[in-house]
Amino acid sequence: MNAVEELAPVVGIEAACLALAVPRSSYYRQQVIGCAKPRPKPSRALGAVEEQQVLDVANSGRFTDVAPAEIVNTLIEEEVYLCSTRTMYRILAKNGEVRERRDQLRHPDYKKPELMATGPNQVWTWDITKLLRLEKWSYFYLYVILDLFSRYVVGWLIADHENATHAKRLIRETCKKEGVEDGQLTIHSDRGAPMTSKTMTQMLADLVITKSHSRPQVSNDNPFSESQFKTMKYRPDFPDRFGPMPEARAHFSDFFGWYNHNHRHSGIAYLTPADVHLGRVQQVLDRRQLVMDAAYQRHPERFVHGAPRTAQLAPAVWINPPAEDLGEAEVQTNLQSICNEGPPISSLEVQH
């Protein structure tokens, strides 16, 4: 804040806050807090002696385990009135004597998974979804393994039950099909029973695969698999209920063929997952650029922002990217780019 105050007269408040990564709302709030006057004590407030009397009564052996509302009403019945229930709560809170008396379950702190993929077959995410069958209260279970970088469905399986045996077979056969080497792969999933079973952990250790799990009760730690399931279930041809197993297998064989080879995914520059997974990205982008260049040559006036450039594939895909803090060098660079006059930036003491 001191640096913002010193820099603001030179470049303005907005530019100073932008260069130092300080929200303008925080700067203005600090100004208001610095000028705020302490709130005067109301004339009707209890005095120090009266507050102490309330504390003595509330902490007495008679009322030590009684709620303030009960204390107030009990005293009223005895023709004694010290204060209102809200005032008693306020006095107890002021002295640090208000808390939850019941034992509360404390959940352990789970580390947030931070996974990055810069190419296919580095990180896979997988999940299981239930599918309604024609028979009431009966389901199919669809297992899907998705490559994080390419969004390519590398393996899937449909079964009558959800268990670790099916998951083990699917992962083992998919690794063999994709030619995954020891130590190459990380597999991410939620904390369902098949994902955290002992047999699954042993199999991943045998294949030298790193395992990763979502945090409990955190819905966005496995977003790519959830997004793929939404794409699948919102397709117009997705049935309300599935018939026999062969029909269900035929449906998903067609769907995953479309998803991998025809679906242009917004998260991968509208390429198909197969283009990214099989290394055809540059050829496709080059063809797109040729088409756009030709269109620009025919009608340059229609491209008001100049020659078009096709969208490029992101070099890395993250699950929970780490928060990035501005370093000293970046702050200095931002300041120098904003300031074109006034004293040298190096003369200011930067605090962040």
Whether the CB-CB separation of 204 and 187 falls below 8 Å is answered with yes
* Furthest CA-CA distance within the chain: 95
pTM of the predicted model, to two decimals? 0.65
pLDDT reported for residue 332: 54
How far apart (Å, rounded) are the C-alpha atoms in residues 7 and 30?
16
* Whole-angstrom distance, CA of residue 128 vs CA of residue 195: 10
- DSSP code for 175: H
pLDDT less than 70: residues of the chain: 32-37, 101-104, 324-352
What tokens appear for 30 in the block? Answer: 């600090």
| Spatial distance between the Cα atoms of 56 and 97, rounded to a whole number of angstroms | 12
Q: CA-to-CA distance for 255 and 248, rounded, in angstroms?
A: 11
Residues 199 and 13: their CA atoms lie apart, in Å, by 60
Task: Answer whether 184's CB lies under 8 Å from 210's CB.
Answer: no
State the Cα–Cα distance between residues 178 and 225, nearest whole angstrom: 19
Q: How far is CA 329 from CA 10, 14, 18, 40, 222, in A?
A: 20, 20, 15, 46, 34
Residue 148: other Cβ atoms inside 10 A: 24
Rg (CA), the chain: 32
CA triple 231-234-237, angle to 5 deg: 110
- Strand ranges inside 216-352, DSSP E: 317-319
Q: What is the pLDDT of residue 181?
A: 92
* Dihedral over alpha carbons 254, 251, 277, 230 (to 10 degrees): 130
Share the mean pLDDT of the chain.
88
Residue 292 near residue 310, CB atoms below 8 Å: yes
What pLDDT, on the 0 to 100 scale, is given for residue 35? 63
Q: Cα(174)–Cα(194) distance, rounded to whole angstroms?
A: 17
Strands (E), the chain: 115-117, 123-132, 139-147, 153-159, 186-189, 210-213, 317-319
According to the model, what pLDDT value does residue 108 have? 75
Integer Cα distance of 220 and 214 in angstroms: 8
Residue extents of the structural domains in the chain: 115-264
Q: What is the pLDDT of residue 344?
A: 42
Q: What is the structure's pLDDT at 203?
A: 92
47 burial level (CB within 10 Å; 0-12, 13-18, 19+): exposed
Beta bridge partners of 133: 242
Cα 85 from Cα 142, distance rounded (Å) = 57
Count of Cβ atoms closer than 10 Å to residue 75 Cβ = 15
CA nearest to 200, candidates 225, 235, 171: 171
pLDDT at 30: 81
CATH number of the structural domain 115-264: 3.30.420.10
Which conformational region is residue 179 in: left (phi greater than 0), alpha (psi within -120 to 50 degrees), or beta?
left
- The rounded distance, in Å, linking the Cα atoms of 45 and 48 is 9
Structure token digits, residue 131: 């599918």
- Residues 81-132: tens digit of each pLDDT: 999 999 999 999 999 888 776 666 777 778 889 999 999 999 999 999 999 9
